[in-house]
Amino acid sequence: MGKKIRNNIYIFSTLIIIILAFSSCNSTKPTIIDGAKAQELENRINVLAYDNDCALRGNSPSNIRNGGNIMMDESTLYLIQQMQFNEDSSYYLRSMPISYIGSLIDTSEILIDLNGTIVALIDNRIYYLEEETSLAKTFDVGSFEISTIIDMPISSFRVFDNIGYVSTRERNDIYSFEINSNNEPSLIIEDGGTIIGITKEMIYTLSDETQLSVIDGFDRMTGEKKFSLSGGPFEDAQIAGSFVYYKEGNTLMKQLLDDSCECVSASVLEAKEYAILGEKLIISSPDSGLYISHLDGSHITMLSEDKAKDIQLFDDYLFYRNEYDYDSWYVIQFSTESRFSLLNETITDGGIKFVEANPSLSDSYSAFYEFFIDSVKESTSNKTTIQQKLGPHILFVDTRGEEYIYYTHVDYSFGPEDCDGIIVITNKDTVLGQYTDKKIAYRKDTVLTLLALGDESPIMSNTIEGYPPIDIKSGEGDRYGIPRSWHQKAIYIIDKLR
């Protein structure tokens, strides 16, 4: 992510969330919680909110709530992507190998026109709810065959333990059907509402679609109604273990399904969107920022400064559309603590942070520093770290073109007389190997070299490895990859120099 995933930023969030969660439960006395008790209560919430049936689901409830744009198996990622054509737009289902996530080599393949919500991927067949018709359908990835499961508009579609469940839009009836079976769907609950969650024992629905004020629970096997929970409104609701999570404006709430505790805030963060999977709670902030925490809202860590929407959460990956990059799809991989654009060049975390100097300012920088840059631009250092604090007013000079291009950080604008140091940007062609015709495969790396003003001895150099060239080439000559952006590394250096 440029930086590693950031350290916890809310030191006292664990205690705050726990006090909020239990101070309103059947008591008017002040709540005093010591460290051991806080840990006990934190563990209790995390256990009660854990989804023990996760392995039996198709796509996760959170991903379906947030658009259901992505589904994965062991080797392939499937993505519903919007493509803009002048004033019109179309939606396509694409596939790409998971091993190529983060690569600029486009290995994706457009499969079919598809605008909908992916509900499950089972035996090479994608189950989805089509946006335009509200029909539950399947798409066979191998044969490209499309089938309609039930010929009536559907408001909600879920898959659990190889059984599909749908709520009809007109009558709120609930049908079930066996996956990979030719049997007709069976009516199991009349006027049951819109499905929001399924467990081994229960089917949970919103029975009042207008007010969103009542959650009903039905026995999954018999269809018998077991309980009702009133309150809410349960906007953007999700069942998580013994809790229902939902939004109240930009506040993420949680409430025990047995109504034994009053509803309380589930996080100190405002939430535009949220996602739950396993032990992870992900929150996308209304302004900007992606955060991860425990299910009780404690141990909050910032993942990215991006402005994210349509978040899709998997075991090791978090996908989202980045509003700072024209809604392009981005992905964070937890195991490697890395952040990439899924199909395009990755921009700086939190949006573009560097601006090119205007012509007037560029002329001033040239007058002050061009001769100095001419004399040092071929110099590099073996050192990759720095201890001294030069200051944040660092001038970045790209020397790879015919003319020098000057850049400064958007938060640290300055004139040439206030410069704290210079970073010279140069190219380095790294040999990766030979093709069968003996021609060379080069990777185009970018080198950032830091210099103090008036001192031609480089302080340090950092290299950003570029993308490799194609594996198989046709035609004569060597082949070169393309460089990666230097912006994220530049932000890291400025943070060290401040």
Same domain, residue pair 316 and 369: no
7 part of a folded domain: no
pLDDT at 35: 60
Assigned domain for 349 exists: no
CATH code of the domain containing 133? 2.130.10.10
Answering whether pTM is above 0.95, one says no
Q: Tell me if 4 is assigned to some domain.
A: no
Write down the pLDDT at residue 186.
Answer: 95
Kindly state whether residues 201 and 251 are assigned to the same domain. Answer: yes
450 assigned to some structural domain: yes
pLDDT score at 264: 83
Q: Are residues 96 and 73 both part of a single domain? A: yes
341, 365, 392 — which closes off a domain? Answer: 341
Pair (120, 182) in one structural domain: yes
Which residues, 6 or more positions from 370, have their beta carbon under 8 angstroms from its beta carbon? 404
* CA 192 centroid distance within chain: 33
Angle at CA of residue 135, ends 130 and 136, nearest 5°? 85
Residue 439 CB burial class (10 angstroms; 0-12, 13-18, ≥19): middle
> For residue 289, how many other CB atoms are within 10 A of its CB?
20
Question: Looking at the domain assignment, is residue 54 inside a domain?
Answer: yes
User: Could you tell me the end-to-end alpha-carbon distance of the chain, in angstroms, rounded to an integer?
Assistant: 20
Asked if residue 165 and residue 101 are part of one domain, the reply reads yes
Q: Is residue 407 part of a domain?
A: yes
415 and 326 in a common domain: no
Note whether 214 and 319 are same-domain residues.
Answer: yes
CA distance 421 to 390: 7
Q: What is the pLDDT of residue 34?
A: 58
Q: Give 373-392 as a DSSP string.
A: HHHHTT---S-----S---S
Cβ(422)–Cβ(451) below 8 Å: yes
pLDDT of residue 10: 46
Q: Are residues 471 and 410 in the same domain?
A: yes
pLDDT of residue 101: 84
Q: Are 283 and 299 within 8 A, CB to CB?
A: no
Domain that holds residue 261: 13-341
Per the DSSP assignment, residues forming a β-bridge with 479 are 441
37 and 106 share one domain: yes
From 341, 369, 387, the end of a domain falls on 341
283 and 276 in contact (C-beta within 8 Å)?
no
Strand order, beta sheet including 308-313: 308-313, 317-322, 328-333, 338-341
Contact yes or no for 463/444 (Cβ under 8 A): no
Domain count, the chain: 2
Together in a domain, 332 and 360:
no
Claim to verify: residue 179 and residue 213 sit in the same structural domain: yes
Residues 195 and 335 placed together within one structural domain of the fold: yes
CA 431 to CA 104: how far, in whole Å? 19
pLDDT of res. 4: 46
Q: What is the mean pLDDT of each run of 10 residues along the chain (498 residues)?
A: 47 45 45 58 85 94 97 95 72 92 79 96 96 96 95 96 96 94 92 96 89 92 94 93 95 91 85 97 96 94 96 97 92 94 87 91 95 95 92 96 94 93 96 93 95 94 89 84 88 91
